[in-house]
Each structure stands twice: as C-alpha cells, then as structure tokens.
Structure 1
Amino acid sequence: MNMDQEKLSGMIIDYIDGKLNEADKQLIEQELVKNAEAYKLYEQLKELIQVMDQSKKIEPSEKLKQKFDAFLQAEIDLEQKSKTVFFTPAWYRAAAAVALLVVGGGVGYWISQQNQQHAELLALQKEMKETRRLVLAQMNNDQSASQRMLGVMAAYESVQTDRPDDEIVDALVTTMNTDGNSNVRLAAIEALSKFTEEEKVRKALVQSLSAQKDPVVQIALIQLLVQMKEKEAVKSFERIIDDEQSLPAVKDEAHAGIFKLS
C-alpha cells in the first residue's frame, strides 16, 4: 500500500464516520480509487463498523446484573457458612422446631425469603445457560456472516470476568481459524484479546497466525501479539517474512514486530 497500514486504517475509519476534513477526505478517496488493497480494507472496515454498531444493543439488563451480583454474594455466603456450621441434621431440625415456636412468623418469613432467593438464583442460572446457548448458536450460523459477527460480539459482552468460559473460548478460537469471512475472524481476534492472560488463549493466537491468509487478519494478529509482548510469536513472524506469498505490508509488520520483541 502507498500509505502506512495503521495510518490508512485510522483515516478510513474517520472517513466512514464522516470526521475527516476536506483535504484528507479527498486524499482517502483518491487512495481508494487507485489502490485495490485500500478499497478492500475500506469495505471490510465499513462492514465491521456497521455490525459493531448493532452489537452495542446487546447488553445485559440491569435486572440481570443485579441478579448476577446477588448470585455471587449468595455463593460466597454459602461457602463461608459451610465452613462454620457443624450441627447434625437431627439436631438442626429440633432446633428449628423450637425456634419456630419461639419467634413464630419471623422465622417463617425468613424461610420464605430464602426460598424466594434460591428460586431466583436457579432462574438466573437457567437464564445465563440459555444466553450462552444462543450466543454459541449465533456464532455457528452458516447462513449469515453478520449473525456470526453478532454472536462473537455477544460472546465478548457476555463474559464479565477476566477468566472466560472454556466453551466460549473454544468457539472463538474455532471462529478465528476457520470462519470464511475475514471480518468475523477479526471480531473473534478482538474478543480473544480480552483474555490474553490465559496461556491457552496466547498459544491459540500464536498458532493461528500460520493459518491466516488474509493480509488484514495477519496484520491484526501480528499487532496483537506484539502488544502482548509474546516472544513465542517471533518464529511465526520469521516464517511470514520468508514466505514469498506474503504481501510486503505484512512482511513489514512482521519485521517491525520482531524488532519490538527483541
């Protein structure tokens, strides 16, 4: 490409968003006309931005967030109680009967509240399980790349901790390596970037580089691996440089990556 890859990507995004001044706008339009790779990048980024705008609507409800917090607190309380209560079942039943006679409706109300909380936790677990099922199904939609893209975005948003669900990670890795649409693969890489502290994810990202053929995806992976300071990726960078099929822009990115990781 005639223009630096990172600068070009940034200017194209601003062009799509209508944020460029008139001079830069004309510059980008000229680049898109004369440079096939730049135009391909423009089409990919345009589709990606459209799908990401749609994905912003996929957010957990406030009620779901509150239930999730309640679920975590209940699990913590349950674990703490399990370490301190040593009464036998028979003794506990007898004590409960005496307490019920003494405090009457108060205990009945407490039991009712506990039962209600337990039911809400079960409902939350069921809702979370169903959400995961729908996310995975959307990621495996063979008919629509846009639906698979939304599935990847939903998978990213559904994981609220730094330690992800193994099934979600496996699905994202498979999508990154095998999806027929480059934009979907890019979205999977972006989602996996949230979990780069996981050894499993780091290894998958390094291994994926040799499977990627789209220059845009290759460059995105190289940049992420450099950002991760993943020295294990250097050999993969060297293979890209030695590969006659690699585009100059990709080789340049690999050279820069080796320099930064050295």
Structure 2
Amino acid sequence: MNITPNSSECLDVADLLVDYAEHSLPPAQTAQMAAHVATCPRCQERVAQLQELGTKFEAAEPITPPLALRVNFMAALEREKAALAKPESEVREAKVVRLEPAKSEESGMWWLRIAASLVLLATGVLLGNLWRPLGADVAGISPVATTADSRLGTLKVNPAVPSLSASDRIQLVNEMAGEVKGSADPTVQALINTLNFDPNTNVRLAAGQALYRLRDDPRVREAFVQSLTIQTDPNVQIMLIELLVALRERRAVPELERLSQRRDALPIVRQQAESGLGQLIQI
C-alpha cells in the first residue's frame, strides 16, 4: 500500500529527511527511513533534491567573505546589543504566538519543514557564488546611508568619543569617508587616528575600509604600514595585511616578516603575514 504525503508517517520522518539524504542517521533510523522512502514517491523526490543541492554545496569553492560583510555584520550586532540593553520599561510586551500546530495544519507543516531545508541549502550555495575576493570588492564598499549631523565634527576631533556607541562611530566613519574633498582634507588624518586609537575593534575595521576607499591619498599607504606595527587585535592585523597586499605595498615587507615570526601572535595571523610576505616579495 502506498503511503501518501499527508500520512502520519510522512509527518514523523519529515525532520529526518535532510540527515537521511546526507547519510548521517544512525543505522536504526536509516533503516526506518529507507523503508518509508521506498514506498513514498514524494519523499523520494525530496531526498533526491536534497542530495543534488548537497552535492552542489560541497562542490562550491570556499571564498573568503569581503571585509564589508564582516564590519556590517558587527555593526548590526552592536545595534542589537544596544537595543537589548535598554531598560525593561522600554521593551514592549512580547506577543504570544502559538507554537503547536492545530491538527488541521499538520498535513502542511511537513512540507514547510522540507522547503525550509531546501532554502537553507540553496542559500548557502548562492552566497558562496556571490562572495568575491577582497581585491575585487573592498574598493566598492558602499557607505551606510545616513544624514551627517553635528556629531561628525566631534568625531573628527576625537575619534573615540565615549558618548557615541560603537555602531554610531562606524556610521560616522563611513560618512567621513564620503566627505573627503582632496588630498589635504583633514578627515583622512581623523580616519587614521580612528584606525589606530579607537577602543572598539569593529570601528577600527570600519576605519581601515574607509581609508582603503581613499587609497589615492598618499597618507593612506604609510598609515597602513605604521598601524600594523601597533595593532594587537588579530582581526585588525589580518585586515591590514589584506589591504597592504591588495595595495601591493612593498614597504610592509619588513613588518610582515617580523609579524610572521612573533611567537605571541596567533597562528592565523602569522600564517596571514607569511602569505602576504610571499605575495609582496614576488611583485
């Protein structure tokens, strides 16, 4: 007797189809799933789709996400943390949502579960194909669209203004980069100061990317080389190495050589420095 997609057995095994397609179930559950899939054309189709997507996902070449993605994510995270830190009186009462589906909904829920799994796998493949290497992407980072206000002038004077949150400072850093008028603009020096001295790692990362967009200014390359000698956060160190390699800045060779041999540096930083050193020496 064929088992229809609306049967109770399909509902029971819906959450296991992804693991079954990936051959990651224990033997007892694998045998149970095999017996069901053999008699259910709909589940056979879902398993075939999952296996095809899994194959494409594994075949996708791993590509390092651009620095913009990292900084924008961390900025969003800072905003969420600030929102969570608000007093309880400012938090609206949460709306109660019924989690248990009604009996009449169960026949459709199993399909939604499978669809969600397919979407997750497809999204992973899509993102892998869309992400591009640093050299081709970081120069085109779009600044956060905001309206400049009086705080911008304050940040130019003191990059680490304690009255501004980290996410606000990141926003202002992007605004500052868009306001530079020429090679003598004092904003460039303000961004360099932010890169070197802001207490928040994410703000320093944003300042580095902003300066990369202003790389035609003769102060920027020298600032990256000098900043690498004083930075201790591994994220900022790796960013500077990537930017210096993208700029083909051979003046960074001595510092990269020193950093690649520092025992107190993280292994990933030493490896990045060694890789960057090899690329710059070949130029």
- What TM-score results when the alignment is normalised by the length of structure 2? 0.48
Bigger proportion of residues as helix: 1
Partner of 2:145: 56
Q: Offset of 1:21 from its aligned partner?
A: 5.6
d(CA) in 1 for partners of 2:250, 2:244: 8
Q: Offset of 1:151 from its aligned partner?
A: 1.7
3-state SS of paired residue (2:256): helix
Q: Which runs of 5+ in 2 are unaligned?
A: 1-61, 77-117, 126-140
Q: Which moved more, 1:170-179 or 1:195-204?
A: 195-204
Partner of 2:156: 136
d(CA) in 2 for partners of 1:164, 1:11: 27
What amino acid is aligned across from residue 237 of structure 2 in structure 1? Q
Task: Please tell me whether residue 174 in structure 1 is matched to residue 188 in structure 2.
Answer: no
**Runs of 4+ more than 6 Å apart:** 24-27
RMSD: 3.6
| 8 Å contact kept, 2:159–2:193 | no
Q: Offset of 1:132 from its aligned partner?
A: 6.2
Q: 1:186-241 deviations in whole A, cap 9, x for unaligned?
A: 11111111232333221111010011111111111001101111101011111111
**Which residues of 2 match residues 1-262 of structure 1 at below 5 A?**
7=63, 9=65, 13=69, 22-23=120-121, 55-58=144-147, 133=153, 136=156, 139-143=159-163, 144-161=165-182, 163-165=183-185, 167-262=186-281
Q: Percent identity?
A: 33
Q: Offset of 1:54 from its aligned partner?
A: 8.6
3-state SS of paired residue (2:63): helix
- What TM-score results when the alignment is normalised by the length of structure 1? 0.51
Q: 1:148-195 deviations in whole A, cap 9, x for unaligned?
A: 21221110111255x250x21221111101111011001111111123
Aligned length: 159
d(CA) in 1 for partners of 2:169, 2:193: 12
Q: Offset of 1:135 from its aligned partner?
A: 5.4
| 8 Å contact kept, 1:176–1:189 | yes
Q: Which runs of 5+ in 1 are unaligned?
A: 1-5, 28-51, 60-126
What amino acid is aligned across from residue 136 of structure 1 in structure 2? K
Partner of 2:42: none
Cα gap change, 1:241 to 1:234, in 2 (>3 Å): same
3-state SS of paired residue (2:161): coil
Cα gap change, 1:11 to 1:181, in 2 (>3 Å): closer
| 8 Å contact kept, 2:225–2:251 | yes
Cα gap change, 1:189 to 1:231, in 2 (>3 Å): same
| 8 Å contact kept, 2:146–2:175 | no
Cα gap change, 1:13 to 1:136, in 2 (>3 Å): closer
Q: Offset of 1:244 from its aligned partner?
A: 0.8
What amino acid is aligned across from residue 209 of structure 1 in structure 2? L
| 8 Å contact kept, 1:55–1:153 | yes
| 8 Å contact kept, 2:259–2:273 | yes
